[in-house]
Amino acid sequence: MVQLTKLVKTSGCAAKLPVGKLEEVLSSIKMERKENLLVGFETSDDALVYDLEDGRVLIETVDFFPPVADDPYTFGAISAANSISDIYAMGGEPSVAMNITLFPSCMDLGILKNIILGARDKAMEAGVVIAGGHTISDESIKFGLAVTGFAQKDRFWRNCGAHDGDVLVLTKKIGVGIINMASKADECSSSSKVEALSSMLTLNKRARDIAIKYDVHAATDITGFSLLGHIYEMASSSSLSFDLDFSSVPYIKEAIDAARLGFIPSGAYSNREYLEDKVENRSGLKREEEDILFDPQTSGGLALAMNEEDALSFIAEFGSPARIIGTFSRRRDKTIYF
């Protein structure tokens, strides 16, 4: 049997172009404004938001990446969960999707079929129908979805808008990128491997469905830019700083050992490089603990900024592994302290 992750250098969201490089290109291009486009290019949000002028907004996003699991069906399902997540990160309800597929023409078509079946079933779980797509013959496999969702115009979330004093709730464990690296090299226990896979396979649907009952001030999902990267976006776009409490961050325990052994995705290095002067380690965290904070996640959890009372009610209802991981506060020299 072909093990899909053995065919690629980087898996999942860890394959993203380093954010600094992307920024270099995008900052030199001026995008036009468009009427009704409420969230566009400027704020590095999870999706675009378009005003439908009937009290609703349309939300649209696209994600695709190389295999993050060896089994084609599982890879398709994870990729779908990851793509759909950006709609949940905006507080929206996903509806329809198109697939984006790159597949080697010489490879067994049964693999492609199982990738699409995995995506179809995960999409169905989210109430999403895959209604079309585009397939290109290429040297290596890549798969993902462009997803369309909807929300009430006065109810959708952006990554900015956190208040001074808000806490941040994280709904999934981190360390998935490091575990994926270790498991690619067969240097990871099967229990951690299963833990990472089941976390990536979990839709953020339940987190979103519970969170919309509360007053969420800002939200995003944790993906390739790492926990610190996505918190940095939230805090800086809200003109605030953030105090992270590492001891409250939920992570897969074995990721610490794997990081110490050097199983660190290249994306973690570019995240670290980009964020280095924006964060400060004041609590003496070890290198491998920092590595987990810079680790690119695939299909990671939601990060929700709320007041503490709402956060505690949310966590009581959502359950494990959701935790309060820190607090937003007035802007200081660095954006994140931990």
Q: How far is the CB of 244 from Co ion (least distance, A)?
A: 19
Which stretch, 33-41, 134-142, 218-226, 283-291, contacts Co ion (CB under 5 A)?
A: 218-226
**According to CB under 5 A, which one of 10, 39, 46, 184 is a site residue for Co ion?**
46
Which stretch, 102-110, 154-162, 211-219, 220-228, contacts Co ion (CB under 5 A)?
A: 220-228
Q: Are strands 167-170 and 218-221 parallel, antiparallel or unpaired?
A: unpaired
Q: Are 62 and 164 in contact (CB under 8 A)?
A: no
Q: How far is the CB of 108 from Co ion (least distance, A)?
A: 29
Q: Are 271 and 327 in contact (CB under 8 A)?
A: no
Q: Which is nearer to Co ion, 65 or 328 (CB)?
A: 65
Q: How far is the CB of 220 from Co ion (least distance, A)?
A: 6
Termini Cα distance of the chain:
44
Q: How far is the CB of 280 from Co ion (least distance, A)?
A: 25
Q: What three-state secondary structure class fits 129?
A: strand
**According to CB under 5 A, which one of 70, 93, 221, 290 is a site residue for Co ion?**
221
Q: Which is nearer to Co ion, 46 or 166 (CB)?
A: 46
Cβ-count burial of 334 within 10 angstroms (0-12 exposed, 13-18 middle, 19+ buried)? middle
Q: Are 141 and 102 in contact (CB under 8 A)?
A: yes
Return the number of other C-beta atoms located less than 10 Å from residue 26's C-beta.
12
- What is the C-alpha separation between 311 and 221, in angstroms, rounded? 16
Which residue ranges are tagged as binding site for Mg(2+)? 46, 86, 221
> Mask: binding to Co ion, 78-107, rule CB under 5 A, as x and -?
--------x---------------------
**According to CB under 5 A, which one of 45, 63, 70, 289 is a site residue for Co ion?**
63
- What is the C-alpha separation between 85 and 222, in angstroms, rounded? 10
Q: What three-state secondary structure class fits 160?
A: coil
Q: Are 126 and 94 in contact (CB under 8 A)?
A: yes
**Any idea which residue has 């270790």 for tokens?**
182
Measured in degrees and rounded to the nearest 5, phi and psi for residue 43 equal: -105, 10
45 counts as binding Co ion under rule CB under 5 A? no
Instruction: Tokens for 315, please give them.
Output: 């966590």
Q: How far is the CB of 77 from Co ion (least distance, A)?
A: 17
Dihedral of the alpha carbons of 246, 265, 19, 220, in degrees to the nearest 10: -50
Which stretch, 66-74, 133-141, 189-197, 214-222, contacts Co ion (CB under 5 A)?
A: 214-222
> Mask: binding to Co ion, 23-42, rule CB under 5 A, as x and -?
--------------------
Which active-site residues does the annotation give?
A: 13
Which residue ranges are tagged as binding site? 16, 43-46, 63, 86, 133-135, 221
- What is the C-alpha separation between 42 and 335, in angstroms, rounded? 19
Q: How far is the CB of 118 from Co ion (least distance, A)?
A: 19
Interface residues toward Co ion, by CB under 5 A: 46, 63, 86, 221
